[in-house]
A and B are shown apart, each in its own frame.
Chain A
Amino acid sequence: MVTYFAGVTDDDRVFKALADPTRRFLLDRLFAGDGRTLSELESEVEMTRFGVMKHLRVLEEAGLVVTRRAGREKLHFLNPVPIRLIHDRWIDKYTERQVSALADLKSQLEGST
């Protein structure tokens, strides 16, 4: 696995970022409508502006949120790629094994042994 900073992998950051209901809620809001300002996001959470900023920073460090400037505004975008990376590296690995185990079982059961 690629480690960009001493001891902390990208996957660690993503799992840590996702392990919080407020951060998952913020991601859900971006999924529903992408490219939002801090003020827009703040208006939907019962939390101080500072608190929302803190959560957004964790999401940004995990790569789950990417910010872009549009004129005077900073827009927050949901970046689904880190979740896809985890899916491709972890989940596929196990589902493939299940599928091939089932295929083995099928061939064994159907085989004329």
Chain B
Amino acid sequence: MTATTPTTVTTQVFRVHIKATPEAVWEAITSPAWTARYGYRAPSEYDLRPGGAFRGLANDGMKAMGAPDVVVEGEVLEADPPRRLVQTWRMLFEPSMSAEPLTRVTWEIEPLAAGISRLTVIHDLDGAPIHAALVSGDQLEGGGGGWPYILSDLKSLLETGTALMSEA
């Protein structure tokens, strides 16, 4: 079996269906109060216009482990609430991460049947292998589950009102 040379694709795609309106999903992605309640439980701040800043702030647990105040940095490239958000994204937990180029995250929210939204996260990770390994969720030990964990937890929070792990 001679395979055609696969072009190296550095994009990762994650999708989840959530029983919630696109507006609710958008709010859960972009508001600091919501982002502190699922996934890595750290508030995100967005200035939702092209060129606006994005900052993922460290929570107390991260700070206790020596993380800087801003653990993820980026810039908003496109904001079309509640359907599409495009941003750059770079983790700053360690010098090895901040040395990688900015990656690009596209959030697409599509309404399906009544009250159900389809959220797709497309993460372009060109030239950022450390980021790619962490966000994929393949490294359960160090990375904590990446996008699969975040999106599963977001679904749980929006559908049941509680996240998977008890909120501290």
Chain A residues within 8 Å of B, Cβ to Cβ: 2, 4, 10, 33-36, 39-40, 43-44, 46, 63, 66, 68, 75, 77, 79-81, 83-85, 87-88, 92
Q: In the complex, are the beta carbons of A34 and B148 less than 8 A apart?
A: no
The complex places the Cα of A36 from the Cα of B4 at a distance, in Å, of 10
The complex places the Cα of A31 from the Cα of B113 at a distance, in Å, of 30
A81: chain B residues at CB < 8 Å are 14-16, 147-148, 151-152
Among the listed B11, B17, B112, which residue makes an inter-chain contact with A63, where contact means beta carbons less than 8 Å apart?
A: B17
User: Per-residue CB proximity of B95-114 to A under 8 Å, as 1/0?
Assistant: 00000000000000000110
B137 on the interface (CB 8 Å rule)? yes
Q: In the complex, are the beta carbons of B11 and A66 less than 8 A apart?
A: no
B16: chain A residues at CB < 8 Å are 81, 85
Docked complex: B101-147 residues within 8 A CB-CB of A: 112-113, 116, 120, 122, 136-137, 145, 147
B64 on the interface (CB 8 Å rule)? no
The complex places the Cα of A17 from the Cα of B147 at a distance, in Å, of 22
Q: Taking chain A's interface residues, is the majority helix, strand, or loop, or is none over half, making it mixed?
A: mixed
Closest Cβ neighbor of B16 among chain A residues: A81
The complex places the Cα of A30 from the Cα of B164 at a distance, in Å, of 28
B168 on the interface (CB 8 Å rule)? no
- List 4 A-B pairs, minimum CB-CB distance, nearest first: A35-B9, A84-B148, A77-B13, A84-B152
B159 on the interface (CB 8 Å rule)? yes
Given A34-B12, A43-B4, A68-B122, the answer on whether A84 and B17 have CB atoms closer than 8 Å is: no
The complex places the Cα of A36 from the Cα of B153 at a distance, in Å, of 28
B156 on the interface (CB 8 Å rule)? yes
B19 on the interface (CB 8 Å rule)? yes
A79: chain B residues at CB < 8 Å are 13-15
Closest Cβ neighbor of B151 among chain A residues: A81
Among the listed A33, A36, A80, which residue makes an inter-chain contact with B137, where contact means beta carbons less than 8 Å apart?
A: A80
B65 on the interface (CB 8 Å rule)? no
Q: In the complex, are the beta carbons of B136 and A44 less than 8 A apart?
A: no
B156: chain A residues at CB < 8 Å are 88
